[in-house]
Amino acid sequence: MDKSGIKFRVIRFEEKYALLKHEDEKIGYMLWPIESLPKDVPLGSDIYLSARTQNELAEAEMNENEDVQNLNAQNAIANTNANISSSEKTEQQFEVMRRLLEELVN
């Protein structure tokens, strides 16, 4: 195991995150995504987090946020297209009703 970086002890696992504790109270506790931990890390074991790992996590979070923004933009476009389609359909229905009324009157 690479022992460079900041040492934390794994003290608890939740659904998506592990609670890590540093021996220095000033640093204290930290939540860390389980998927970013080494595979099959046992409870109570020490892990070492480096700045590079944290930067990679920040980059992954930025990419995830970008993906969410792209998805939101796609949904907005789809909703706009659906509204336009609905508006066009309403206009077509109105035109059909107008023609039917003209035929009834004549």
Helix (H) or strand (E) holding 51: helix 51-105
Q: What is the token pair recorded at 72? A: 């939101």
Report the alpha-carbon distance of residue 63 to residue 60 in Å, rounded. Answer: 5
Amino acid sitting at position 64? E
Q: What is the model's pLDDT at position 103?
A: 82
CA 47 to chain centre: 26
Whole-structure pTM value: 0.42
Residue ranges covered by each domain of the chain: 1-49, 54-106
Q: What is the model's pLDDT at position 1?
A: 53
Summarised one tens digit per residue, pLDDT across range 18-58 is 888 988 888 888 888 888 887 888 888 898 877 656 677 77
Does the CA dihedral 27-30-35-41 come out positive or negative? Answer: positive
Please report, rounded to a whole number, the percentage of residues in the chain having pLDDT higher than 90.
1
Q: What is the model's pLDDT at position 4?
A: 67
